[in-house]
Amino acid sequence: MLHRSIGWLLMILIGFHAEAFAAETIQVTDFSGRILRMKRPAERIVCLIESALSGLYMLDAQSRVVGVSTNVYEKPTVDAYARMDERIARKTLPAPGNWDFVSIEHVVALKPDLVVIWAHQNEVADALSSYGLSVYGVFIQSIEDVFKEIADFAALTATEKRGSELVAMIRQSLDSLKEQIHMSDAMRKRAYFIWPQGNLETSGFPSTVQQLMDYAGVCNAASSIQQEHAVIQLEQLLEWNPDLFVLWPRPKSVLPDFQGDPAWSRLKAVRNGAVHVLPDAFSCDLWTLKIVHAIRLVAWWAYPDRFTDFDPEQERIRTMKRLYGSKWIE
Amino acid sequence: MKPSSTRLLLLYLLPIPILFLSLWIGPSRLFGWGDVLVHFWKALSGAHYREEAGQQMMRTILWDIRLPRILLGFLIGGALSVSGCALQAMFRNPLVCPYILGLSSGAAFGAAVSIAIGSGLLQLFSFGFGILAVGASYLLARSRKTVSIVSLILSGVVVSGLFTALLTIVQYWVDPFKLQTIVHWTMGNLHTAGWGKLRSAAGPILVGTGILLLYRFRLNVIALGDEQCRSVGLHPEVEKFRLLVPATLAASASVAVAGVIGLVGLLVPHLVRMMIGPDNRRLVPASFCFGGMYLVLVDDLARSLASVEIPIGVFTNLIGGPFLIYLLRKERVGWQI
Amino acid sequence: MTGANGPIPAARVDHLCFSYSGKPILQDLHLQIEAGSFTVFLGPNGSGKTTLLKLIAGILEPTSGRIAVYGEDLNEMPLRKRARRVGYLAQQQQVIFPFLTEDVVLTGRAGAIRFQPKTEDIDIAIQAMKHVGISHLLHQPFTELSGGEQQLVMIARVVAQNPKMLLLDEPTSHLDLHYQARVLRFIQEWKADGHTIVAVLHDPNHALIAADRIVLLRQGKVIGQGEPGDIRVEALQDVYRTRLVPFRFRNQTVVFSDMDDGFTSDAVHPSEQRGKT
């Protein structure tokens, strides 16, 4: 009788323990297909992708970050982070690498339990895993990818509540925008995206730029091109003759002179002055939830009559405050 | 075996119809051959006619996009070929290209720096560093007023390596998009050709090739050797310098506007030599015409393949490489080397 | 042409020294070449005769000493002027590109051409080829010619250049008897035209028959010079270090190597005898 009772007691205890154990293991799959298992939420994160880092800040998990990427310390990015984090302002947060070059030694010396890198840095991932570190690879091609990244990070840092808040907020924002600019295909405007490296450098399909256009209710002029980043022929652009240009931020001095060029000046967008530049790379980052700001800007440029009292600057501040919370100081 | 005058005439005149026909080629589906013919007829006959929007677009595409690109391609192909002729005579080696003294590495580095810092002065940087590299090779190779071929080649290798290393450092520091642009530029490109680029490149190219054309007889003398050169009354060092400067000017200007287009300066003189013999009095102008035509034809191919831009250097290397190997095998490894 | 001290020599060499990579090739040479004469440098391999010729041609620069050509210092003469005074025929040539013969000969005119050759230049080149007897090779690629034919083309090139003094380095070495005789005849014709000729010949008999003056060189020094009649057989034996047998031919001595006696292992030249019994 006693034996059986003890046996049952043991079973129940083991049962509880097993459940607790199961509850403690966090499991996510990163963008390279790697499965991460962590017993506890990550305490020391080295994040070498700046867009992922901004996600961590949005989740309010920045205190867990012990290492960042080198480009965080470059202007203008550093200004935004410095305001949110003393450590960056004082340059005390180490930067052991970036999307291309990683100092394995330096990363390991920071004793992290989670390292965030680019999904294609396989050699780095292998090297880090051999030290027993969990490695999360990032590769964003769509907004759904950003949502997944936020959800994964939320799980890994035990900030699920904030995570789902953020995702819901952005989904809702996109839905309401969709309502606002609802129109038939025939009425849709056509936009041409220009990267700063050259006036013929654009993004086709699939790409985050395509997503930007889709959610903003415009057609991507280059959607017939099956490349994420492509250089098109000028003739082709003349044939598409888009209604507006959307330019990725660039130093002011390098703003292209479309009016002065005989070929470019023929285009509808140039003649109508519909050449728009996204204000800054940080607030419009297409690899983060901030893409919603870029989407709203593009929608406003394309269909200004669908908006009343749209103030881009106010919009930006509002979006940043909602995403980053009270940390965000203007 | 004197080259027949018909062959020569063909080489000089063939570019004209080729260039004209190249205007037809392009990805636009806005207009067909018939429209183009009608347009030209009307333009030639001077008749005034109201342009519809479609015709305006056609005119823009023909005159503002295709024509400057074709002309630029012709100039660059010609410049690289003539430069190749001069350097091959200087080095007494038919397998030398205009980039041998570090020009391409220097120019690529200059372009990379310009792209990295985001300045709008890419052409200037590339041109400047190209010339700097060649100058450095030349000065390094000079010892007591003589510049031997071997020391030139050696210093060219060293300077090339140096600038390639510097280029790699720049590539390390830039973000992925800039890196892509740098790599893209390095492979050679004509897609940003316009009247502006033509204007900036035409000057140095025409000056450089003009001087080489003027001195083309001396290429024959130099090609026979330093001793021979001296004995007939020409100072080999002075002549080498006199040829190196315009050759570098023309090649550097070409690279500055269109990136590193490979295997034109090497292949074209070789081909033309096979057609009309090595006498530089004929080789230099014929190479200019043939080289220009060659590059325009290759660019026609590049333009018509897809609506995205594929760097023209890809084609010149893919076509020129195997062709050169075929020629070399056919020819008993060329001329007693 | 006469100067203050009599006729100006075509070339005058004073205290000439030349070293290459620290090795002395010519030491304190003194020499004078009379205008309008045919002088021959004779000597064994390594005696420095080609070097001396190149120095007088201005191809090499002396380590020390002075070379004057027609009264003027050679190294201070501008190259174009030098080309009118001195022409040089190299012993060997390596031509990479298959230039046509006429193009090669035409380069001899380079000193007189500013940019492009004129019709006169082309005519002179064609005349030169006719003179040397190679008109039939006009349109042949140089690289496809035999060694002898290439030599003749280079001679025609020097002829086209038409300098006052011709320096020829072994002009007959690749030629058959016919062309050897031809070249020696040209030399006489050019001399008659008023040119000065200096040649390095490998066959001393050509020198003995045709030259006005012979200079004997050994180990970078002039060990004898004079008219052919003044050159003793012993001196030649000394220079070439082999037994020579003299023959009289039309009032001139010619020499042949003594095959019978000369090349068995026992027969050693007196100058090489070092305590042999």
Instruction: Assess C59–B contact: CB distance below 8 Å, yes or no.
Output: yes
Q: pLDDT band for B27, please (50, 70, 90 cuts).
A: confident
Name the residue with higher pLDDT: C203 or B167: B167
Looking at beta carbons, which residues of chain A come within 8 Å of B30? 238-239
Average pLDDT, integer, range B270-281? 92
- The answer to whether the Cβ–Cβ distance between C110 and B232 falls below 8 Å is yes
Looking at CA atoms only, how far is residue B61 from chain A in angstroms?
A: 6
Average pLDDT, integer, range B272-296? 94
- The answer to whether the Cβ–Cβ distance between C98 and B228 falls below 8 Å is no
- List pLDDT tens digits, range C97-112: 999 999 999 999 998 8
Residue B288: the pLDDT is 97
- List pLDDT tens digits, range B169-210: 999 888 777 888 888 888 888 888 888 889 999 999 999 999
Q: Residue B243 pLDDT > 80, yes or no?
A: yes
**In chain A, which stretches have pLDDT less than 50?**
none
- The answer to whether the Cβ–Cβ distance between B235 and C93 falls below 8 Å is no
Q: Which chain C residue lies closest to B333 (C-alpha atoms)? A: C96
B27 vs A101, A227, A236: nearest CB: A236
- List pLDDT tens digits, range C142-174: 999 988 888 889 999 999 999 999 999 999 887
Looking at beta carbons, which residues of chain B come within 8 Å of A238? 28, 30, 57, 60-61, 65
Average pLDDT over chain B, rounded to an integer: 88
Instruction: Assess A100–B contact: CB distance below 8 Å, yes or no.
Output: yes
Maximum CA pair distance of chain C?
71
Q: Residue C21 pLDDT > 90, yes or no?
A: no
Determine A/B contact with 3+ CB pairs under 8 A as the test.
yes
- Find which of C60, C80, C107 to mutate to test the B interface (most B CBs within 10 Å of its CB): C107
Q: Residue B335 pLDDT > 60, yes or no?
A: no
Instruction: Assess C93–B contact: CB distance below 8 Å, yes or no.
Output: yes
Looking at beta carbons, which residues of chain C come within 8 Å of B281? 116-117
SS in 3 state form for chain A?
CHHHHHHHHHHHHHHHHHHHHHHHCEEEECCCCCEEEECCCCCCEEECCHHHHHHHHHCCCHHHEEECEHHHHCCCHHHHHHHHCHHHHCCCCCCCECCCCECHHHHHHCCCCEEEEECCCHHHHHHHHHCCCEEEEECCCCHHHHHHHHHHHHHHCCCHHHHHHHHHHHHHHHHHHHHHCCCCHHHCCEEEEECCCCCCEECCCCCHHHHHHHHHCCEECCCCCCCCCEEECHHHHHHHCCCEEEECCCCHHHCCCCCCCCCHHHCHHHHCCCEEECCCCCCCCCCCCCHHHHHHHHHHHHCHHHCCCCCHHHHHHHHHHHHHHHHCCC
Instruction: Assess A180–B contact: CB distance below 8 Å, yes or no.
Output: no
Residue B298: the pLDDT is 94
- The answer to whether the Cβ–Cβ distance between B2 and C100 falls below 8 Å is yes
Lowest mean pLDDT among B25-29, B232-236, B268-272, C129-133: B25-29
User: Percent of chain B scored above 70 by pLDDT?
Assistant: 92
- List pLDDT tens digits, range B104-116: 999 999 999 998 8
- List pLDDT tens digits, range C214-269: 999 988 888 888 998 888 888 888 888 888 888 888 888 888 888 776 454 444 55
Please state the ipTM of this predicted complex. 0.84
Residue C94: the pLDDT is 85
Residue C267: the pLDDT is 46
Q: Residue B282 pLDDT > 90, yes or no?
A: yes
Q: Residue C11 pLDDT > 70, yes or no?
A: yes
Instruction: Assess C90–B contact: CB distance below 8 Å, yes or no.
Output: yes
- The answer to whether the Cβ–Cβ distance between A195 and B177 falls below 8 Å is yes
Q: Which chains touch C (3 or more CB pairs under 8 A)?
A: B
Residue C264: the pLDDT is 45
Residue C181: the pLDDT is 87
